[in-house]
Amino acid sequence: MGKLHLARLPQYNPFPGPVVFIIMDGVGIGKGDESDGVFLAYKPVLDQLFKEPLYAQLKAHGTAVGMPSDEDMGNSEVGHNALGAGRVFAQGAKLVSAAIASGAIFRGEAWKSALERAKSGGTLHFIGLLSDGNVHSHIDHLFAMLEKCAAEGVTKVRVHPLLDGRDVGERSALSYTRPLEAKLKELSVSGRDYRVASGGGRMITTMDRYNANWSVVERGWKAHVLGEGRSFGSASEAVQAYYDEDPTMTDQYMESFVVAENGKPVGTIENGDAVICFNFRGDRVIELSRAFEEGSEFDKFDRKRCPEVFYAGMMQYDGDAHIPKHFLVEPPAIDRTISQYLCAEGVTSFAVSETQKFGHVTYFWNGNNSGYVDEKLEKYVDITSDNVQFDQRPWMKAAEITDATMDAVRSGKYKFVRLNYPNGDMVGHTGVPISIRIAVETVDLGLKRLLPVIEEAKGIAVITADHGNADLMFTEKKGTREPMVAHTLNPVPFIIKDFSGANTITMKGVAAPGLSNVAATLLNLLGYEKPDDYDESLIVIE
């Protein structure tokens, strides 16, 4: 790739302040009824912004963000990819489904190496999120691999399912563990031994991200590798027991468990085994991958023992750091992101969020690449998240994010500033209405504090979201309300608030606008033409 270059907009008038891009994670446009936490929240600033002339609604799910179909919800990973890349790339679920359908996944070296271990006396282990949420994984992908194992003559398989309750119903685990156990029983013939070995709720076991809480990974390690944890006869027995003991228990917060027989775990991970992580999304399994792949330098927790295994991810979760070393499906090759172009033009930028979403305004924004594009021009700030359930502190670190952004704007050092308020998404996933409303109100308060500072600097604020969540708190069937803890299929708001007065900006009226149109729009606001292959800008500057 040659040196990147952006053409200047000939009719553009520069202005002193920055372009500040504000991502209200999980704040979509819902039905405007009592199920809509965004609608119900007291949000005078957003209510006024929704009336601005430079307002649009953007598609943030399905094919607009690279998912297989428009029945698939968006998510933070693909949303920030689209925002930062200015184009739509086929994403994890679509890539994996295509690789399975074509058989390419089974012809790769990683799959062959895993099977070689399994056929040489080892056990083949699968670890991943067990649901059809299609955000981190899909149960169909696991079933396809299990069936292939049987066809290839693998005699011993163990599955370590992580319970979802976040991208699917909050107490839906049995609708996945029971079919899994039935599938494993069906395949356990002709000398084959396929079983569930351990598991737990995703927010308690294994699936930490951004180094927020390594004890989550440690609990997973103890259950999956060491066989340490509360014992049950099956995964479904464990789920039902936890439900019975605590009627308020939801799947994502369910404690880890170990399946045992005659007092012994049925599936610890030992020397000579192979381990496949079947999540295709990387953020919540990078730490697990590190625990398996790093040697004596690993210092995040005491692994007690680290078996010699062949480890592979469904995809490579971090292309820069090469985590993991082995993977089944090539990730989308996202090149020429907006950050790369801006750095090539010498534009200074600032990015901030708290730990829960820090990687979204850095790693995912930069096309699944960690680290700086150009450290001389960029500043990234990660504000440490609280390790509590998000409905307990729905304000999260929004105040600190706002403080850091205000300081960045006032400093005059940065022409482009981006931030992510995680509240609407992280609290939306809890399904607790009062907390969701407070989360949205917290974001509104952040805007109330931040916008005057942008105005003072004579800058431009651009406000949107990566997908919906807080906009649907529950669904109702036959008079019974069920908490809705997954992302929505709703559009998201897009607002430009111009405090610079330097240019005449009008909305273009793009057909079916989506998140991928935002990058070209930001480039225009910064005074540049979009690259030829970027999706169309939403605005005209005159």
Phi, psi dihedral angles at 105 (to 5 degrees):
-60, -30
* Peptide bond between residue 307 and the one before it cis (omega within 30 degrees of 0): no
Assign 118 to helix, strand or coil: helix
Asked if residues 283 and 209 have their Cβ atoms less than 8 Å apart, the reply is yes
**Nearest Cα to Cα of residue 257 among 219, 216, 292:** 219
End-to-end CA distance of the chain, in Å?
Answer: 32
Question: Per-residue pLDDT tens for 153-181?
Answer: 999 999 999 999 999 999 999 999 999 99
Strands 257-261 and 198-201: antiparallel
Give the burial class of 188: count Cβ atoms within 10 A of its Cβ; 0-12 exposed, 13-18 middle, 19 or more buried: middle
Q: Is 172 a catalytic residue?
A: no
CATH number of 20-90+333-490+501-541: 3.40.720.10
At 140 the pLDDT is 98
Asked if residues 72 and 59 have their Cβ atoms less than 8 Å apart, the reply is no
What's domain 93-329's superfamily in CATH? Answer: BPG-independent phosphoglycerate mutase, domain B (3.40.1450.10)
Phi, psi dihedral angles at 48 (to 5 degrees):
-75, -40
Question: Per-residue pLDDT tens for 458-506?
Answer: 999 999 999 999 999 999 877 888 898 889 999 999 999 999 999 999 9
- Please, what is the average pLDDT of the chain? 96
At 247 the pLDDT is 95
- Count Cβ atoms below 10 Å from residue 312 Cβ, excluding itself: 25
Q: What is the pLDDT along the chain (542 residues), one digit of tens a residue?
A: 468 999 999 999 999 999 999 999 999 999 999 999 999 999 999 999 999 999 999 999 989 999 878 888 888 989 999 999 999 998 888 899 999 999 999 999 999 999 999 999 999 999 999 999 998 999 999 999 999 999 999 999 999 999 999 999 999 999 999 999 999 999 999 999 999 999 999 999 999 987 889 999 999 999 999 999 999 999 999 999 999 999 999 999 999 999 999 999 999 999 999 999 999 988 899 999 999 999 999 999 999 999 999 999 999 887 657 899 999 998 778 999 999 999 999 999 999 999 999 999 999 999 988 899 999 999 999 999 999 999 999 999 999 999 999 999 999 999 999 999 999 999 999 999 999 999 999 999 999 999 999 999 999 999 999 999 999 999 987 788 889 888 999 999 999 999 999 999 999 989 999 999 999 999 999 999 999 999 999 999 98
At 514 the pLDDT is 98
Q: What is the sign of the dihedral through the CA atoms of 321, 422, 33 and 47?
A: negative
- Count Cβ atoms below 10 Å from residue 76 Cβ, excluding itself: 27
Assign 338 to helix, strand or coil: helix
Give the active site residue among 35, 69, 76, 120: 76
Q: How far is CA 303 from CA 159, 291, 324, 422, in A?
A: 20, 8, 18, 31
Q: Residue 125 and residue 123: Cα distance in Å, rounded?
A: 6
Secondary-structure percent of the chain, ordered helix, strand, coil, rounded to 5: 35, 20, 45
At 493 the pLDDT is 98
Q: Residue 136 and residue 91: Cα distance in Å, rounded?
A: 11
At 319 the pLDDT is 67
Asked if residues 6 and 529 have their Cβ atoms less than 8 Å apart, the reply is yes
Q: Residue 520 and residue 83: Cα distance in Å, rounded?
A: 9
Residue type, 263: G
Domain with CATH 3.40.720.10 in the chain: 20-90+333-490+501-541
Asked if residues 213 and 223 have their Cβ atoms less than 8 Å apart, the reply is no
Domain with CATH 3.40.1450.10 in the chain: 93-329
